[in-house]
C-alpha cells in the first residue's frame, strides 16, 4: 500500500467508541487496508480498548471511557496506520467451499445484472473472495465478487433462510450460519456447518482469509452434510 493510502479518518461515536476508516478513491484499497489495520490494532491493542466491530470499510473501536479517551485511541490508530505491514500477522487460510447453486434468487440476480443464471454461477465460482469480517452470528462476509454491477438487496427481506445458504449483495457474498431473516439474495447453499458453538473455536476462518466456491452435485453435497468447514 502506498503512503497516501495510509491516511485514515477517526471519528467519535457516543461517549465510548470511535470509527476508523481509510481514505482512498478505490474501495478495494480501503477494504484491504482496514483488514490489515484491524489485525495490527488488535495485536497492539492500546490500553482501555474493550472490543472492535469490523465493517466492510471501517473499524468501530469500543473503549472504557473511564480509562482512556478518543484522543488517545486516535493517536494510537494513526501511529499504527502509518506503518502497516503488507501482510497479516498470521498465515492466510484458504477455503474451497463446495456449493450447490439452486437458490431462489439466482434467476432474478441473473436478470438484474444482465447474465444467464449459469454465467452468474461462473462469476461466483470464478471469484477469489476475501473474508472482510465476521458479521452477525459469525457469518463470514466476503468481498471481491466479480459481477457486472453491484447486486441489490431484497426490498422485502426473507424471514427464514436455512443455515448454509450462500447469499450475495453488492460485490459481497455471505453464508448464513443459523436459520433466520436476511435481505441478501440467496443463490445457493453449502452442505458444511459454518459455525458450531459447541466447539472451543466455533469457526475456522477469520478476516483476511481467502475463499473460493466450487460447484458440486446434490449427491456430493448430501454426502458432506453437516461436516464442519475447515481450510482446504
Partner 1 sequence: MTTLEITGTGWLTTFTDLGRRDAERLGVPTGGAADQHSAMVANLLVGNPRGATLIESLGSGLAFVPDRDVLLAVTGAPCRVTIGNAVVDTWSPVVAPAGQVVRVTDVRLGTRTYLAVHGDLRAPTFLGSAAPDARMGFGQVITRGTQVRLDTGFVGFPRRFPVFRLPVPALRFGDGPWVIDVVESPHSIPGIRELIEESSYVVTDRSNHVGLRLTGPVRHPDNETEIVSHGVPIGALEIPHADELIVLGRYRSLTAGYPIVGVASRPSLPLLGQAGPGQELRFRWIDREESIRRFARREDELRALERAAADALDLPCRRTQ
Q: Could you list the residues that contact partner 1 (CB under 8 A)?
A: 11-17, 19, 38, 42, 50-60, 62, 65-66, 70, 133-139, 141, 153, 170, 177-178, 180, 195, 197, 202-203
Place of cell 502506498: 2
Query: Given the complex with partner 1, which of 64 and 82 has the nearer CB atom?
Result: 64
Please state the closest distance from residue 97 (CB atom) to partner 1, in A: 18
Cα 41 from chain centroid (whole Å): 18
Q: Which is nearer to partner 1, 55 or 188 (CB)?
A: 55
| Least distance (Å) between residue 202 CB and partner 1 | 8
- Which residue number, 127 or 176, has a Cβ lying nearer to partner 1? 176
> Are β-strands 94-99 and 210-215 bridged in parallel, bridged antiparallel, or unpaired?
parallel
Smaller CB separation from partner 1, 202 or 231: 202
186: closest CA among 96, 122, 106? 106
Nearest residue (CB) to partner 1, 56 versus 99: 56
Least Å distance between CB 228 and partner 1?
15
**Shortest separation between residue 34's beta carbon and partner 1, angstroms:** 10
Least separation, in Å, of the C-beta of 216 and partner 1? 26
Q: For residues 18 and 63, what is the distance between their CA atoms, to the nearest angstrom?
A: 8
Amino acid at each position: 500500500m502506498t503512503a497516501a493510502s495510509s491516511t485514515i479518518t477517526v471519528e467519535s461515536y457516543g461517549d465510548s467508541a470511535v470509527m476508523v476508516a481509510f481514505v482512498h478513491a478505490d474501495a478495494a484499497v480501503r477494504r484491504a487496508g482496514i483488514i490489515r489495520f484491524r489485525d495490527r490494532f488488535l495485536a497492539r491493542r492500546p490500553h482501555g480498548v474493550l472490543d472492535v466491530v469490523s465493517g466492510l470499510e471501517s473499524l468501530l473501536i469500543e473503549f472504557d471511557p473511564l480509562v482512556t479517551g478518543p484522543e488517545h485511541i486516535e493517536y494510537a490508530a494513526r501511529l499504527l496506520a502509518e506503518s502497516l505491514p503488507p501482510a497479516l500477522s498470521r498465515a492466510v487460510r484458504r477455503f474451497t467451499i463446495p456449493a450447490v447453486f439452486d437458490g431462489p434468487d439466482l434467476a432474478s440476480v441473473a436478470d438484474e445484472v444482465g447474465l444467464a443464471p449459469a454465467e452468474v454461477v461462473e462469476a461466483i465460482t470464478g471469484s477469489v473472495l476475501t473474508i472482510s469480517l465476521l458479521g452477525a452470528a459469525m457469518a463470514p462476509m466476503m468481498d471481491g465478487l466479480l459481477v457486472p454491477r453491484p447486486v441489490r438487496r431484497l426490498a422485502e427481506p426473507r424471514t427464514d433462510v436455512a443455515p448454509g445458504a450462500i447469499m450475495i449483495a453488492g460485490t459481497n457474498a455471505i453464508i448464513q450460519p443459523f436459520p433466520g431473516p436476511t435481505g441478501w439474495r440467496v443463490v445457493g447453499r453449502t452442505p458444511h456447518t459454518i459455525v458450531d458453538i459447541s466447539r472451543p473455536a466455533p469457526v475456522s476462518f477469520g478476516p483476511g482469509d481467502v475463499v473460493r466456491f466450487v460447484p458440486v452435485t446434490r449427491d456430493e453435497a448430501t454426502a458432506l452434510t453437516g461436516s464442519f468447514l475447515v481450510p482446504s
